[in-house]
Amino acid sequence: MSLLELDGVKVHFPVKKGVLFDRTVGHVYAVDGVSLSVEAGQTYGLVGESGCGKTTLGRAILRLVDITEGDVVLDGTNLAELPGEEMRGMRRRLQMVFQDPLGSLDPRQNIESILSEGMAAHGIGADREERRTRIREILAKVGLPTGALSRYPHEFSGGQRQRIGIARALVLEPDVIICDEPVSALDVSIQAQVINLLEELQEQMGLTYVVIAHDLAVVRHISDVIGVMYLGGLVEEGPSDTLYAEPLHPYTKALMSAVPIPDPAVEDTRERILLTGDLPSPSKPPTGCRFHTRCPWKQDTLCATERPELKDAGNGHKVACHYAAEIAAGTVRQTVPGAVRPPEAETAPAEVPAPAKPADDGRTADPGGRAGRAAEPGKTAEPGGTAGTGGTGGKSAESAESAETAQGGGTAGTGTTPEAGGTPEAGDAVQADEAADADEATDAGEAPKTGEAPKTGEAAETVEAAEAAESAVTKD
Amino acid sequence: MTQPLLSVDELTVTFTGRGRRDVQAVSGVSFSVDQGQVVGLVGESGCGKSVTSLALMGLLPDRGVRVGGRAEYDGTDLFGLSPSRRRALRGSQLAMIFQDPLSSLNPVVPIGVQVTEILARHRGMKGEAARKEAASLLDRVGIPDPRRRLKEYPHQLSGGMRQRALIAMAVACAPRLLIADEPTTALDVTIQAQILELLKELVDQEGTALLMITHDLGVVAGLCDEVNVLYAGKVVESAGRRDLFAAPTHPYTHGLLNSIPRLDAPRGEPLHPIRGSINDNIAWADGCAFAPRCDFYTLECLAGTPGLSEPRAAGHQVRCVNPVLPGSAGATGGTTGGTAGLEKTEATS
């Protein structure tokens, strides 16, 4: 039994019109049937773009918005049915950390008052002195000086304010903390501090987190299980490693290929899936699969008519797509030309046919399966087929430049340490074992894909590459 | 190309206020942009990157701001121009894309009017001709059904659409230099990818020079040819993007790259944040502004402003006396005690 379970949760907001009599003219389907479960001591990450309903879902768990339908079960108690007073009591066990650290702290209350208010409401600590001792402990845990107690929110920096927000949640000793975009308002160097703090606290206090964020890299870093939301529903869910190594849903693939990676070598050679258009309005969601209006792999049957269920695809990896298996196997072809852009070959010297390496750096769940698939003739020429490994494209340009061992390190380095990724140009020493690993990886990767390599190398222009891909698709 | 399109030399911007201490937001920034080149200015909030762009565009208010240094655009000194000459240049040859598309568009004026306004001002186009041109501009930046969109107001467009409209306005007069200030920060990743692709196309096809201002190192990695990293109003590291990311040499750049979780890195590796916050710095005049947060800090760091040097490769400039060189990456300066004392000498607010 999981600590927190959601079953078919729907949150619909009525759209009203009229001055005297509010007529309901429609609904915004913010959350439309989400089921998930969060294990104790784990972190569940919810990702999606703005408007996908992830924040509403987070608020629905705490019943800060009314749940239209469905159950939220915390430790055996169904929160959706609790009367107001009892729900207030339950909120001690469910706390939230908000996105905007300044907006969520009362500017006229000092820190002690902010932190003790919740304790007083829930009857924690007999008197002021006891509460103060407890607050001091928590402040030390989140890395704030005790002197902070008598100060006001505006006197703190963004990162410190977020620490106060976290402390406010912690003083109530909750079981589950829902973090809604905990770091998106912070600068990069401060983000890392807060992420590390959340991780330390989880380790020390055995907390369970539901982390809601749009930054996939952040979510991947801290989550054990990730759910990807699109227009009110989960489209894919799985353990963080498998989900990122091998995304199954076209939306997840596109989302991941769109995340910029701070490494030019990776950026130049990765494959991109560009989605056309914007998110449809959640008040008029598309029929069938919500994503079919933007999906590069949309098929004529099923997609527009039937809403896919979240089905297990093995290893706890669930996906809501009618054709996920076919797309992964490469038997279904792209229907939107040009949506999947093969790696650009601008910097690749045309004369060197560099072997493009399938992204396999050891974290793939079944490397054999992938390498095998990549080896299928005709499939390698189709950029869509090898899709989905947005972060880990083959590095033809790089490997072409040098054949040193260090280069091998660079090639596999997409997934290893930043230093390894950066070494080829600096030419400095790569750890011997790393280099060895890299070599193995390269060997494993090269063999099946050599046929494809010249194509990528020669196509100097993206357009040409796309055309080549198109013709290959047609032949296929 | 003998002469760069834009060269900025020791730009300083100081905000003054009666009864208040002067705040130097930009304290000596130099860089140059060539025709068809994408140059990045990267830094966290408060490092002076946006103020730099506003100063170059001449969009800072006249009162309460002192701008120093030189900025030369195509041989003319930008800061020496008369306001009217400056206006003629701005919008036609120099154009800017702002971060927040909603607040930089006029909410009560249809998109069409806002686009044709520029065409009328700089290209003397009127009536149907201007409308036709505006429609083709919107079409070019990928807005479907441009004729209908011209009649719509900014609130009727989605975030990505608005940013496209803003780009359409910026490229209306085929500018030679485009300044993009965090053009994708307010957008979702999939929309960000679309916009970045569009900017890339513009640079490739038109040979427009692009000055890209962003806090996102990932965006820089994919787009920029040259990267300048700013800290507390000064360029601390400047290099070609491959050099920069392969071998970040300034401790700040190094720290930044170590503190972002990467989508393609193995999971479970702890992040290494830069300690302290951007407020923990000292004035450049007293030494390195980054010293209080730096892991490689030594007493030499306090001996005046460090100059730019090229410890690693030609063209890879670093403003640091203890640069991160290969082999020294793991060695952290054991001067934590000294740092604690240093924090008391903070000179800036």
Q: Give ipTM to 2 decimals.
A: 0.81
Report yes or no on B223 lying in a domain. Answer: yes
Q: What is the mean pLDDT of residues A134-146?
A: 91
Measured between beta carbons, the chain B residues lying within 8 angstroms of A244 are 263, 267
- Give the minimum alpha-carbon distance from A208 to chain B in angstroms, rounded to a whole number: 17
> What is the model's pLDDT at position B153?
94
Mean pLDDT across chain B: 86
Q: Taking CB atoms and an 8 Å limit, are B277 and A157 in contact across chains?
A: yes
* DSSP notation for B180-248: EESTTTTS-HHHHHHHHHHHHHHHHHH--EEEEEES-HHHHHHH-SEEEEEETTEEEEEEEHHHHHHS-
Mean pLDDT across chain A: 76
**Rg, Å, chain A Cα set:** 25
Please check whether residues B283 and B255 belong to one and the same domain: yes
Looking at A91-105, B138-152, B298-312, B321-335, which range is the least confident one? B321-335
Q: How wide is the angle at C-alpha B133 spanned by C-alphas B130 and B137, nearest 5°?
A: 135
pLDDT in tens, A393-414: 334 444 434 434 334 333 343 3
Q: Taking CB atoms and an 8 Å limit, are A49 and B259 in contact across chains?
A: no
Q: Taking CB atoms and an 8 Å limit, are A428 and B191 in contact across chains?
A: no
Say which amino acid occupies A369. Answer: G
Q: Taking CB atoms and an 8 Å limit, are B273 and A263 in contact across chains?
A: no
Please check whether residues B237 and B265 belong to one and the same domain: no
> What is the model's pLDDT at position A438?
42
Torsion sign, CA atoms A216, A221, A226, A232: negative
Measured between beta carbons, the chain A residues lying within 8 angstroms of B248 are 422
Spacing of C-alpha B205 from chain mean position: 22
Statement: residue A52 has pLDDT above 80: yes
Domain CATH for B41: 3.40.50.300
Domain end among B216, B246, B276: B246
Percentage of residues of chain A with pLDDT beyond 70: 71
Cβ atoms B312, B306 nearer than 8 A:
no
pLDDT in tens, B52-86: 999 999 999 888 899 999 999 998 999 999 989 99
Q: Domain residues for B268?
A: 250-343
pLDDT band at B140 (very low <50, low <70, confident <90, very high): confident
Burial annotation B148-158 (CB, 10 A radius, 16+ → b, else e): ebbeeebeebb
Report yes or no on B166 lying in a domain. Answer: no
Please check whether residues B222 and B296 belong to one and the same domain: no
Query: How many domains would you assign to chain B?
Result: 2
Please check whether residues B268 and B324 belong to one and the same domain: yes
Note whether B275 contacts A: Cβ–Cβ < 8 A.
Answer: yes
More confident residue, B25 or A347: B25
The residue among B94, B90, B115, B111 whose CA lies nearest residue B102 is B111
Structure tokens at B345: 């000498």
Spacing of C-alpha A191 from chain mean position: 16
Report yes or no on B305 lying in a domain. Answer: yes
CATH top class, domain A4-223: alpha beta
Distance CA A123, CA A116 (A): 10
Q: What backbone phi and psi angles, to 5 degrees, belong to B244?
A: -60, -45
Pick among A181, A220, A252, A261 to test the B interface (most B CBs inside 10 A): A261
Report yes or no on B132 lying in a domain. Answer: no
The position carrying tokens 């937001």 is B25
> What is the model's pLDDT at position A153?
93
> In chain A, what are the domain boundaries?
4-223, 234-475
Note whether B329 contacts A: Cβ–Cβ < 8 A.
Answer: yes
Percentage of residues of chain A with pLDDT beyond 90: 40
Q: Of B218, B272, B326, which has the smallest distance from its Cβ to A260's Cβ?
A: B218
Most confidently modeled range among A353-367, A453-467, B200-214: B200-214
pLDDT band at B333 (very low <50, low <70, confident <90, very high): very low
Structure tokens at A429: 């020493």
Statement: residue A385 has pLDDT above 90: no
Report yes or no on B319 lying in a domain. Answer: yes
Distance CA B175, CA B97 (A): 12
Beta-carbon contacts of B106 under 8 Å, excluding residues fewer than 6 positions away, are B114, B154
Q: Which chain B residue has its CA at the smallest distance from A423's CA?
A: B246
Please check whether residues B237 and B279 belong to one and the same domain: no
- Give the minimum alpha-carbon distance from B135 to chain A in angstroms, rounded to a whole number: 18
Q: What is the mean pLDDT of residues A32-54?
A: 92
Pick among B204, B264, B290, B343 to test the A interface (most A CBs inside 10 A): B264
Measured between beta carbons, the chain A residues lying within 8 angstroms of B245 are 262-265, 422
Q: List beta partners, residue A208.
A: A176
Q: Taking CB atoms and an 8 Å limit, are A189 and B274 in contact across chains?
A: yes
* A301 CB-side CA count, 13 A: 2
Domain end among B197, B231, B246: B246
Say which amino acid occupies A213. Answer: A
> What is the model's pLDDT at position A461?
43
pLDDT in tens, B240-283: 988 899 889 999 999 998 888 888 877 777 888 888 877 778 88
Please check whether residues B237 and B218 belong to one and the same domain: yes
Q: Count A/B contacts: CB-CB distance under 8 Å.
A: 176
Please check whether residues B237 and B287 belong to one and the same domain: no
> What is the model's pLDDT at position B91?
85
pLDDT band at A330 (very low <50, low <70, confident <90, very high): confident
Please check whether residues B231 and B262 belong to one and the same domain: no
Structure tokens at A110: 């000092």
Report yes or no on B72 lying in a domain. Answer: yes
Domain end among B220, B246, B272: B246
> What is the model's pLDDT at position B17?
81
Q: Which chain A residue has its CA at the smallest distance from B265's CA?
A: A415
Q: Taking CB atoms and an 8 Å limit, are B266 and A363 in contact across chains?
A: yes
Report yes or no on B184 lying in a domain. Answer: no
Q: Taking CB atoms and an 8 Å limit, are B326 and A254 in contact across chains?
A: no
pLDDT in tens, A278-303: 788 888 889 999 999 989 888 888 88
pLDDT band at A354 (very low <50, low <70, confident <90, very high): very low
Distance CA A14, CA A51 (A): 16
pLDDT in tens, A169-194: 999 999 999 999 999 888 888 899 99
Three-class SS of residue A325?
helix
Say which amino acid occupies A12. Answer: H
Q: Judged by CB atoms within 8 Å, which residues 51-90 of B form the interface with A?
A: none
Q: Taking CB atoms and an 8 Å limit, are A50 and B188 in contact across chains?
A: yes
Report yes or no on B26 lying in a domain. Answer: yes
